[in-house]
Structure formats: C-alpha cells, structure tokens
Amino acid sequence: MYRETEILKQPGAGEPDVFGDMIINIGPQHPSTHGVLHLVITLNGETIKKVEPHLGYIHRSIEKMCESLSFRQFIYVTSKMDYLSSHINNHGCCLCVEKGMQIEVPARAQVIRVLMDELTRLASHQLWWGAGAMDIGALTPFFHAFREREMINDIMEETCGTRLTMNYMVPGGVMVDVHPNFQGRVHEFIKHFKTKIDEYDELLTGNVIFQNRVKGVGYLSKEDAISYGCTGPTARGSGVSCDIRKLYPYEVYSKLQFDEVTETGGDCLARYLVRMKEMRQSLSIVEQLIDNIPEGDVQAKTKAVLKLPKGEYFSRVETARGEFGVYIVSEGGTTPYRIKFRSPGYSNLSALDHMARGGKIGDLVAIMAMIDLVIPDIDR
C-alpha cells in the first residue's frame, strides 16, 4: 500500500548533499513542536528533503508502570498520556476493564461519561485551534480559544475536582455524581460557544492568508492515510471513515444523532475543516444529552479488588486526535500482565515525513499544527 513519492524514487533522495543541503534540528525545545519532539530535517534552501522525528524525550514507560498497578489504579496513569483528552483515555481503559469483569454501567453514568468525553473533545479542539493558529502566525486566536476553554475547565473543576487530568472515571461508572451546577453551566457554555464558533470561522477560516497557508499543503492520500495507520481528523481529512463512535459505538453513542465528519481534500485545510465541524458535532451531542441525564446510580456495584479473568481484552475509543486502543493481557491476578496502548499521535506523526517532503519550513509547521501533536501521547 505504501506509495512512493517522487522524491523517494530519485537515487540518493533524502540523503544530505554535501554542498547544497543543510541539516537542522527542530526541537527538542522549539515553540512549534508543542513539547519535546525532536525533528532532524534536511533542507535544500527552504525546501524540506527529509524529516526524521526522534522520539523518547518524555518517555515515562507508562505501559510498564501499569503492570505494577492494580486494575483500578492504572487508569489514572493514562491521564498523563494525552493530557488534552485525559477523560477519553480513562474511558478507554474503563471500558476494557468493564469488558473483562463484565460490569454493566448504569445508564446515568454512561450519559455522564459521554458528556464529559465530548466536553473534553471540545476543549482539546479549542486548544488545537488556538495553538494551530499561533503556529501559522496568528497570535490572537489563542486567547479567544482559551476564553471558551476556560469555561469547560471550570465545569470540569466543579465536578471532577481538577482542570486537566480529571481521573473521573472508575470501572463501573464515574467516581461521583455531577455537581448540582453542572447542567446550568453547560447550558451557559453551549449558549456562549454557539456564537463564538462562528467567530472562530470569521477570524481564521476565511482569512485569505490562512487559506493559502493550509490549502494543498501536506497532502495525504486516502491510501497513504490507511497505510500509515492514521486515525482521527488526520485520516478523516483524507476521506477515511474511521470514527470509532460510529463504527464501534460504545456507551450511548449509538442512540445519538451526529455525523461522522469527513473531507476529501487530504490537505491541511481538510484536516482543519474536519476539526471545526467536529466541534459543532460535539456541541450538538452535548446539547442532546444535557437535558436527558437519566436518574439512578453513577457507579455499578463492584468488588473492592478487581481481578480480571485470564485472557486478552481490547477496547477502543475515539479521542480528540484519533483512535485510542487499550490492550490488556491478564493472568487472572490483581494487576495486568501486559498492557499496550495504541495512541493516535504516534501513527499520525509517522506520516509527517511523507506529508512534509517538498514543502517549505512554514509548511512543516502548518502540517504539525494540523496533525495536532501531543508529545506525551506519542512517547507514553
């Protein structure tokens, strides 16, 4: 499936030319890598010949750590992977444990989980929008995005106790019931954000400079997106249908009215538009659920110590960046024998070299911005 680019076919392409080329390190400390990602790029003038990501600067061996933590404890470590969608990471892990223990999650907990997931997705996309615009050179959108993100963080703080790594989900439901103010504040947020998302479009989407910066940049065909294992908006921008919420619905997603957003452009603009439309979809999901939270328990009755039966378990969820998979091998004890996380950022990053070749340095920054990299998610 791997499609060779024009540059790859030339003999010696991608290798530095002794006289003309310049090898330049972007990162590990660089404003546009959003963390400690190290890119070694080979430049010919301003044109990129090769991009080589060097990973591992923030590797904390979370998978190994999880092997010594119980089935209740390991969930909280996963908040620190993709810290912008920590709720959804926790959700994936909970789903896997629940599958193994065959726990039935109460209806109220299911709805609260989905609500929290979608609010997290919105917050993550807002941060992406601001930070992406900043990479492309517009500094103002960042502050506009943070205004709305702050409201979500406040909602999270009230209900979960923290603002970023919430650790709200437990096997069998959620830790505590939502705060009495929750519904009111979410309504307030919906009302506020509905006008502001149009402002986002006015400020950035229609800007001719922005359009020029992202249109036709970092082209990734459908075949390439599949063969690199891209998921989430990165793949959906290339026309791949890969929304786990639609394809393998979990919790109450099968009962909800929402569209899977795909674009066929395959360039940065398509990825941008997918995320912008996803924000509207998430908003509509929150709107559908917020008045329909059923009464009941927020947590199923579970044993104090969970022991997964011997076997292998897998679950997947859709984070803000793509498909997040959890694979647990249990030997029947209180801790997992082996855990593997399939993080979306790692696969999406692997397509970076393919997308950036032949572009300019400015294009590389735009491509990285539109992939929406979170480095702890890549390194784990």
Between the CA of residue 274 and those of 80, 264, 373, what are the distances in Å?
A: 26, 10, 16
According to CB under 8 A, which one of 68, 73, 181, 212 is a site residue for other proteins? 212
Per rule CB under 8 A, is residue 61 in the interface with other proteins?
no
According to CB under 8 A, which one of 143, 198, 264, 358 is a site residue for other proteins? 143
- Given the rule CB under 8 A, which of 173-181, 201-209, 221-229, 242-250 is the region that contacts other proteins? 201-209
Binding residue count for other proteins, defined by CB under 8 A: 29
According to CB under 8 A, which one of 213, 245, 271, 316 is a site residue for other proteins? 213
Length of the chain: 380
46 or 104: CB nearest other proteins: 46
According to CB under 8 A, which one of 30, 185, 246, 277 is a site residue for other proteins? 30
Which residues touch 36 (CB under 8 Å, ≥6 apart)?
27, 28, 29, 57, 58, 375
Cβ pair 235, 334 in contact under 8 A: no
The CB-of-160 to other proteins minimum distance in angstroms stands at: 26
- Residue 304 CB neighbour total at 10 angstroms: 5
CA nearest to 335, candidates 65, 62, 59: 65
Per rule CB under 8 A, is residue 46 in the interface with other proteins?
yes
Q: Which residues pair with 22 in a beta bridge?
A: 43
Q: Which value, to the nearest 10 degrees, does the dihedral of the CA atoms of residues 85, 89, 94, 97 take?
A: 180
The CB-of-51 to other proteins minimum distance in angstroms stands at: 14
Per rule CB under 8 A, is residue 133 in the interface with other proteins?
yes
The CB-of-264 to other proteins minimum distance in angstroms stands at: 24
According to CB under 8 A, which one of 22, 198, 241, 254 is a site residue for other proteins? 22
71-108 core/surface letters (b: 16 or more CB in 10 A; e: else) = bbebbbbbbbbbebbbbbbbbbbbbbbbbbbebebbeb
Cβ pair 201, 124 in contact under 8 A: no
Per rule CB under 8 A, is residue 362 in the interface with other proteins?
yes
Per rule CB under 8 A, is residue 24 in the interface with other proteins?
yes
According to CB under 8 A, which one of 144, 245, 271, 275 is a site residue for other proteins? 144
- Given the rule CB under 8 A, which of 23-31, 55-63, 179-187, 234-242 is the region that contacts other proteins? 23-31
The CB-of-365 to other proteins minimum distance in angstroms stands at: 5
- Given the rule CB under 8 A, which of 141-149, 227-235, 254-262, 370-378 is the region that contacts other proteins? 141-149
Which residues touch 371 (CB under 8 Å, ≥6 apart)?
234, 271, 345, 348, 349, 351, 352
100 or 141: CB nearest other proteins: 141
DSSP per position, 297-348: -SB----SS--PPSEEEEEEEE-SSSEEEEEEEE-SSSS-SEEEEE-HHHHH
Per rule CB under 8 A, is residue 247 in the interface with other proteins?
no
Per rule CB under 8 A, is residue 148 in the interface with other proteins?
no
Residues that bind other proteins (CB under 8 A): 22, 24, 30-32, 46, 133-140, 142-144, 147, 204, 207, 209-210, 212-213, 360-363, 365
